[in-house]
Amino acid sequence: MALLTEKPAAAFDLTQVGRGCLLWAKHFSWDEGKAGFVTTATENQLIVQYYPGIGNVTNHFIIPVSEAADGQWEIRWSADMALVQEYNVKTDDMDQEIEGGGADDIGGTDL
C-alpha cells in the first residue's frame, strides 16, 4: 500500500488569464456581475479590481479556483478585446447571449 497518493487539482491556466486582462465575473450569490481588470493571477486565485461607482474609489473581489471549479462563478475575460473567452456562462432559451460578447455582456452601458 502506498503512503502517498497523487490527486488532480484544479488550477487557473495562467497562459489564458493574467495581470491586465479585462474580466467580467458574476458569483452565483450576486444579482449582477462586475467588470474590472485582473491585478493578481495565481494558479489558486484571481484578484480583480473594479469601479464600484462611488467617487474616486476602487474595490476588488477574489475568485478562488475551488469556487470556479465548483461552478459558483460565471467568468468572461479578454487580454486584447479581440477575443472574449467564457467560463461556465449559463444561457437559456429566453435570454440568448451574443457570441463573442457585447457591451452589455462585459459590463458596458446602453447610451
pLDDT in tens, 22-45: 999 999 999 999 999 999 999 999
Q: Which residues 6+ apart lie within 8 Å of 76 measured at CB?
A: 23, 24, 25, 84, 85, 86, 87, 89, 101, 105, 106
82: left (phi over 0), alpha (psi -120 to 50) or beta: alpha
Q: Average the pLDDT over each of 41-55, 66-80, 94-108 and give the range with the smallest value.
A: 94-108
* pLDDT higher than threshold 80 for residue 111: no
